Chain A
């Protein structure tokens, strides 16, 4: 029984990692942009929510509803005015710029909010749990997992059922030809990053409510997100969820064997998948 519990806790933890990774996967899938500041943007969103919570006395969920449009605009402006300028056949400039952005964000947050670790007030749901078949499941982990599923279903609907989604995929296939058809790739990219920032805001709620955060934890979260995206196969959103779950389960199982092994077990699972399937579990047919 304890093993089943461990694995289910791992699956639920995977939901959190999938949320960290979904925005990264979305942006990479559309414009082949690896955003090294993704983790720091999640932390930035968490501080924005914290600020709204402490200034307006709102619950974190309400504060996130206000933070979401702000993050949407941040994403749009960031892509339109900074990242679009460095996108091109060379992969290095966007890596350098997002790495620089990561450093800037960390230091700006440090300056404004200090290095003290913070937490979003979750209230009762922080400790609430439900009984399911003899297992005690935390409400917050369940909510996180449900949010991850919702985000991925939502993004898939957006991709495959809407006009905007088709423009995303067409631009992803061939930005030059898409331009000749009347699509504006710069705007498409800006919209994609803006939507990714909505997912980032959602990830930030759970990041902030489930554990302490400080200005420097972004890169560590980025590593989990990267691993989830790569295990799943670049550009596949359901793959990203599976990747998150694999890391989550590996971590909880590792921790159950020996608490020191938690983080290591996750990374080992990642390396193992790479050894067996170097292109990830669900790679796109042609890239």
Chain B
């Protein structure tokens, strides 16, 4: 079943077109990777999906409904969760409270109903040890994990990850990949923007390549990575 469908979506800022005629579908339970050079419009694409930006043309369907003009909060409630490129936890709240806030307000439930879910997510994302620490004092890997955990706490049908592996050491990156693999195998649909390609390709089943706001490749990760066009444009290799 298709959970997210973009049809001919375009977005411009003045004369600058950042998203041009983008169309793709994501099937439920699938993990889609998005790559592209800096400025290719990857984060803009996420903002269009979460509703932080509205598209100039085209339509976005999520979970059977047209959400093209729906505001971000409603999209969050309908099941689109997101982690940010730069982690933005609530610094003065504890790790557990960060999840509680996201879970209660993101799903319109009482704290009592979501406590167990939050504890389970903390365990999945290996944050149980620091559950009662304030988020402002966390190290980078823990902040990234919290970003992931908080997006999970809204119980999303679709999880958007924005460069979550950037800035981590190799060992930290592996640890984070395992966490994401765990989430994915539990059935969450994922769209993941990432520059750390080995991290991305070890998880996703499909890869989408953006360049100057256009889709220039979509399909099996190995085929995409070996295609001549991608190597030329994205990796800068003369073929």
Tell me, in angstroms, the Cα distance from A268 to B99 when the chains sit together.
45
Which chain A residues lie closer than 8 Å to B101 at the CB level? Answer: 166-167, 170, 178, 181, 183
**A166-B92 contact, Cβ under 8 Å, with A179-B73, A181-B154:** no
Residues in chain B near residue A181, CB distance under 8 A: 76, 101-102, 105-106, 150, 154
Tell me the chain B residues, 89-132 only, with Cβ under 8 Å from chain A: 90-93, 97-98, 100-102, 104-108, 110-111
Complex CA distance for A163 and B110, rounded to whole angstroms: 8
Q: Which residue of A lies closest to B72 (CB)?
A: A180
Query: Cβ of B104: which chain A residues have Cβ within 8 Å of it?
Result: 163
CB-defined contacts of B105 to chain A, threshold 8 Å: 167, 178, 181-183
Contact between chains at B90 and A169 (CB < 8 Å): yes
Residue on A nearest B50 in the bound complex, by CB: A180
Instruction: Report how far A173 CA is from B136 CA in the complex, Å.
Output: 10
Per a CB cutoff under 8 Å, which of B77, B98, B111 touches A182? B77
Residues of A within 8 A of B100 (CB): 163, 166
Is the C-beta of B145 less than 8 angstroms from some C-beta in chain A?
A: no
Interface status of B88 (Cβ within 8 A of chain A): yes
A172 interface residue (CB < 8 Å to B): yes
A167 and B106 CA atoms in complex are apart in Å by 12
Known: A179-B73, A181-B102. A169 touches B93 (CB 8 A): yes
* Pairwise interchain contact B154-A182, C-beta atoms closer than 8 A: yes
* A188 to B: closest C-beta gap in Å: 10
Q: In the docked arrangement, what's the CA distance between A170 and B93, Å?
A: 7
Which B residues are CB-close (under 8 A) to A182?
73, 76-77, 102, 105-108, 154
Is A157 at the interface (CB under 8 A from chain B)? no
Q: Cβ of B143 < 8 Å from any Cβ of A? A: no
| Residue A136 CB within 8 A of the other chain | no
A163 to chain B: which residues have CB within 8 Å? 100, 104, 110-111
In the bound complex, CA of A167 to CA of B150 (Å): 14
**Measured between alpha carbons, how far is A166 from B76 in the docked complex, in Å?**
19
Q: Note all chain B residues with C-beta closer than 8 A to A112.
A: none
Interface presence of A286 (CB below 8 A): yes
Restricting to A179-212, which residues have a CB under 8 Å from any CB of B? 179-184
B82 at the binding interface (Cβ < 8 Å): yes
> Complex: how many Å from CA A172 to CA B110?
21
A-B contact pairs, 19 of them (CB 8 A): A163-B100, A163-B104, A163-B110, A166-B93, A169-B97, A170-B101, A172-B92, A173-B90, A174-B88, A174-B90, A177-B88, A178-B101, A178-B105, A181-B102, A182-B76, A182-B102, A182-B106, A183-B105, A286-B136
- What 9 new A-B contacts, CB under 8 Å, besides A179-B72, A180-B52? A163-B100, A169-B92, A170-B98, A173-B90, A173-B91, A178-B105, A181-B101, A181-B105, A182-B105
Interface positions of B (Cβ within 8 A of A): 50, 52, 72-73, 76-77, 82, 84, 88, 90-93, 97-98, 100-102, 104-108, 110-111, 136, 150, 154
